[in-house]
Every structure is written in structure tokens, then in C-alpha cells.
Amino acid sequence: MDLKAATKRQADIATWVLWDLSRCPVPSDVDARRVGPFIRRALKSLGYNGDLTITAIGILSQVPIDVLRALSSTGINLHHVPTMYNKSIMTSVYMWKSDNSPPANVMLISLQRIFGQFIADLSEKYYVLGSKVPYDRQLEPTVFARRAGCFLWESLLASLRAEAKKECSGTTGKSTFYCSGCCLGLLGFESFTKHILSKEHALDELDYYPGGVEAGNESRARKEDAAAILARLQGFREARRLEEEEEEAKYKKQRLEDPYYDEEYDYEAEAE
């Protein structure tokens, strides 16, 4: 995994890795149990000796249970968000900032453009791994986010595949489990997965989508079971995914037509 070695100031401070699991999922040919230990070894070898926290964030009810179990077994925290709208993840990042004063190392693994501007701001007080330190403001934030976030993940996967025969090892801590939609911390993997896959939880999450309140009321009136409600929820999430793909296609087209399009990009509007 291509990262710069820790400086003297970075060596002994805490490091937080935020992994956008929905946009950067574990491929079928990679053992999820190896991701956490590999990140720990890689950072340790580069001189990052402080406490390390790895958080996998996303719509975790859509991630296979065996993958979630494997990740949590190696000390990776699981953080469920109700939607992949930018505000869901950004809120979680701001929560982390409020609980973790600088200095600290931060590594963001995501393909989302919104992180570009956030990285620019974050780099003023924190060390952002994978970025230029100090942050190069001549590099457009959206381009940075694409190159850095995607590059880190692809680099990590390439290294994992190259070490396919290496056993899962390394010191792991106790995982934490959190549902941001319900502002609820849960004790244990089984309680967490039961919660995010429950009928009541699915009904609550419908409220986060346009038209979801009406859909939830209809589900209650019909006394639908959990599977039916989750199917409704999946429909809203699929619509959001297609919307995001359309937004990305439009963005790429505008970038081709106007290389300076990012200078007028409204990051605050996208975060809503």
C-alpha cells in the first residue's frame, strides 16, 4: 500500500482509517479477515506506531453477513448509515472530529468527490495519509479525492492479492458497532446485525428517502413482514445508486467540456 513513511510528528500519534465499505467493497477473491491485519502491518512498517482505529462505514445491511463477521473479528469497527447521501457519511466524520482533537493521522478510503473539499479543510489541523502534506491547494479537491481515495483502495487490494498465502495475523482490538440512523451503539456482532436487518429498523430507514414516509405508512397498513419492507428499502437505495451514477456521468462530461469546472463546484449543496 503506497503511503509515505511517518514523520517524527506522526509516528506516535493516533491514526484513524475510515473505509467507505459501500463504495469500496471487499472483492470475492479477497479474504475480508486479511484487510485489517494488513493495514495494521503496512502502517506499522511505515513508522505509524500510535493507536490505530479502523472503521468500516456504509449501508452495512447490504453487506454479506460473513464479510461483516470477518471484519469485526479482526477489530474493525462497523458503522451503519441509513443512506449513501453524502450527509450520512460526512456527519459521521464530523462526529469523529468533535471527539478527536488534533494532532492525529487520518486515512479516508472512498470514491466520493465530497471528501475532496473536506480533506482540504481536514489537512489544516490533521495529517491526512495519502495526501500531500502540507495539502497542495493547487490540486483540485475533487481530483484529489478520486485519485487518493481510489488509489489507496486499489493499492491495498493489489498488495493483499500479492500476499495471498500470508496468514491472517496481527494484534486486534475489540470492535464497536454503531447505527447512525438510530444514534445507537450496540453490544456485540449478533445484536448489531439483528438490529440493522429488523423490520422496525427498515421502517425507520424508509423515512430518510424521498417518498419513504408514505411507503412506510403503506407497509404498516399492509402489515408487511421484514423481507417485504427491506425490498421496498432496497428499491429506494437502488434509485439513489442510479442517481449517483447519473451525477457522476454528468460530472465527467462537464469536466471534459470545461477542465476548470471544479472551481465552481458547490460542495455545500452536495453535502445536503
Q: Where are the domains of the chain?
A: 15-188, 198-260
Q: Assess contact for 14 and 102: CB atoms under 8 A.
A: no
Q: Mean pLDDT over residues 91-107, rounded?
A: 84
Burial 90-110 (b: 16+ CB within 10 A, else e): bebbeeebeeeeeebbbbbbb
Per-residue confidence band for 168, with pLDDT thresholds at 50, 70 and 90:
low
Q: Is 55 helix (H, G, I), strand (E, B) or coil?
A: strand
- Look at residue 76 and tell me whether its pLDDT is greater than 50: yes
- Tell me the per-residue pLDDT of 36-68, one tens digit each, with 9 for 90 and over: 999 999 899 999 999 999 999 999 999 999 999
Whole-structure pTM value:
0.81
What is the phi/psi pair of residue 155, to 5°?
A: -65, -40
Contact 212, 202 (CB under 8 A): no
Among 68-82, 85-99, 143-157, the least confident range: 143-157
